[in-house]
Structure 1
Amino acid sequence: MGRPENPVDRTVPARAQLADFLRERRNSAGLTYNQMAKAVGGQTSAATFERAASGTTVPSLETIRDFIIATTVEKESFGPGPALARGRELWIQVRRATRAPYFVRKAPDPTLVSDTAGFLRALRHQHVWMGYPTPGEMERMSGPGMLPRTTTRRIIDGDALPVDPQQAVAFLKACYVLDETELGLWLAAAVRSFWNDPARSKNIGKWVKAHQEMIQKTESKDLATVTTLHSEEEKKAA
């Protein structure tokens, strides 16, 4: 396992919790940081892995992903998926603890939004709540042309609303709103907000359509899940 590590820096509890999670995975896998770096083809260096598990810095999400993949062992029957989800959750908590201002104490509730000013404010608070992802990070998460960083900056600064539902969803996903049911609530908030704004109500149709499509997608997934569970129960009973 190499030389003994320094104790985890516990100055920021959320950062220490992430470091503990990473160290526990490395210890369970019985790997050195050099071995981990080789496992990911040198994509992340041993020194970067060691810093990520020190508790002194906030590693990138890509570093956490590589750390988890490098330490995934055969006994993890579901593969790295659950650990990746936990790592992202801890990373978001660290970003929130180190970046979000004191006055943002909880995630915004889109069901309380009723006008365009409130919708824009809720988008900005969601961005803060998820730890201030940079416009560059958000652009990379969204794919080419979907969320240009100049547009993202204007939304973050409160100078512009998303131009269409696709851009709004891209912004929310880049702020780690990934659940389709929750995305549906945000699109419903947009419909309410723009319906009450004479300057934007003429384009309300595309927002209504996007909301309906999101609901249908959610219902289809729910139905598929129920069908799968029912099939599994029938197999067990047979």
Structure 2
Amino acid sequence: MARSEKPIPGHRPSLVALAQWLRAARNSTGMTYTQMATAVEYSASTLSRAATGCVVPSDAVVEAYARACGADVEEGLSLLAVVRAEDDLDGETAGASLIQLSEISNFAMLCRAMTELFGQIEGGSLRSIEKVAAVSGTLPRSTLSRVLRGAARPRLDLLITFVGACGVSACEQREWCEAWHRADTDARMERVKEQMGLH
């Protein structure tokens, strides 16, 4: 039977959310960390440490933890992406705000802004966003997870569906679309430069 764990420190909301998700996944199985470790390539102590809320685990550890519990790997990795986006903000100058839509000029910035938006949704999860999005369009969790982690560029239709599902107003959605077009123009220019051998 799974043993109860110490309370999660509450000083970092995104890390708390990740730790809570990991713990809920394990509790749903009733497994101990020792039992989980037999199913993956990590030790019981490494898996346990990932769910303390005190450290930021690696992608591989979160993926292994989720697999051991039969949980949604993409969901876990997306929560981890939010933690890392928060870390990036903490590393900037004091008082710096979230990315301004008007300042977005490439897909890296756009993906980060999407991750920040996702992190602001109280109790938000890929599954809940996907359900809300089903009303206006499709939003595959696996694709969205890759975008939030910066591993893929969002299509315009995916961006519109995502921000709409996050409750963004129609007026602000236009700003998101304009940001996407700037990022797309930047990507096209980069491809031209590569073809011309300017990189």
Q: What range is the shorter-chain TM-score in? A: 0.5 to 0.7
Structure 2 counterparts to residues 31-180 of structure 1, below 5 A: 31-40=31-40, 43-72=41-70, 80=71, 83-100=72-89, 101=92, 103=96, 105-106=98-99, 119=105, 122=106, 125=109, 175-180=150-155
1:38 deviates by 0.4
Distance 1:47 1:107, change over 3 A: farther
Q: Give the 3 Å change call, closer, same or farther, for CA 10–88 of structure 1 in structure 2.
A: same
The 1-side partners of 2:100 and 2:27 are apart by: 34
Q: Aligned partners of 1:205, 1:97: CA distance in 2, in Å?
A: 32
- Alignment-mate amino acid for residue 103 of structure 1: A
Partner residue in 2 for 1:169: none
TM (norm. structure 2) is 0.55
1:104/1:125 contact within 8 Å kept:
no
Unpaired segments ≥5 residues, structure 1: 73-79, 114-118, 132-171, 195-199, 208-238
Report which structure shows greater RCO (CA 8 Å, sep ≥6). Answer: 2
Q: Structure 1 residues 104 and 124 mapped into 2: Cα distance closer, same or farther (>3 Å)?
A: farther
Q: Distance in 2 between matches of 1:173 and 1:12?
A: 19
Shift of the 205–58 alpha-carbon distance from structure 1 to 2, 3 Å rule, reads closer
Whether 1:187 aligns to 2:162 is no
Identity %: 27
Give SS of 2:81's match.
helix
**Structure 2 CA distance for partners of 1:125 and 1:187, relative to 1, 3 Å:** closer
Task: Look at both structures and tell me which one has the larger radius of gyration over its CA atoms.
Answer: 1
Kept in 1: contact 2:17–2:79 (CA 8 A): yes
Instruction: Indicate if the aligned counterparts of 2:78 and 2:149 stay in contact, CA closer than 8 A.
Output: no
3-state secondary structure, aligned to 1:39:
coil
